[in-house]
Amino acid sequence: MTESFNRESWLAQLRQQVPEISPAEALTRQAGGALLIDVREDHERADGTPAGALGLSRGFLELRIEQAEANRERPILALCGSGQRSLLAAEALQRMGYRQVSSVAGGFNRWKAEGLPIVTGALDADAAERYSRQLRLPQVGEAGQ
């Protein structure tokens, strides 16, 4: 019971540091130039991801974010499945000097429930990098992955 209380307390502290926005607000900000990052793992993104989102799993976020977005002033929106890992991701980005970071409350589950645009079947950034050699082969291509 103490463990659960500590986790909830910790998440509450993160919510004090990291602004949370609704999926609809995230979509609006994305249309205005914000970078939406889906921090779920590859297998989670296989069922779909918000349209235009960059797939960058939580485990590789700190290692690859500067390649994806070096501008620490650009608004960044972190999204996961339910809204908890995105809080952790957003807090890590803040520690790295990104100044306008928000977490999408409710994550992809809420995004999808609200009927916001998603894409399925496309390779995300992690998978595209992993299969880059095969993608260049005309006989394989993205459809073969």
Give me the active site residues, please. Answer: 80
Task: Quote the CA–CA distance of 113 and 36 in Å, as a whole number.
Answer: 18
Helix (H, G, I), strand (E, B) or coil at 11: helix
Q: What is the spatial order of strands in the sheet that 20-21 belongs to?
A: 20-21, 101-104, 76-79, 35-38, 54-55
Task: Quote the CA–CA distance of 14 and 88 in Å, as a whole number.
Answer: 8
Task: Quote the CA–CA distance of 49 and 44 in Å, as a whole number.
Answer: 9
Strand partners, 76: 35, 101
Task: Quote the CA–CA distance of 10 and 12 in Å, as a whole number.
Answer: 5
Task: Quote the CA–CA distance of 85 and 107 in Å, as a whole number.
Answer: 9
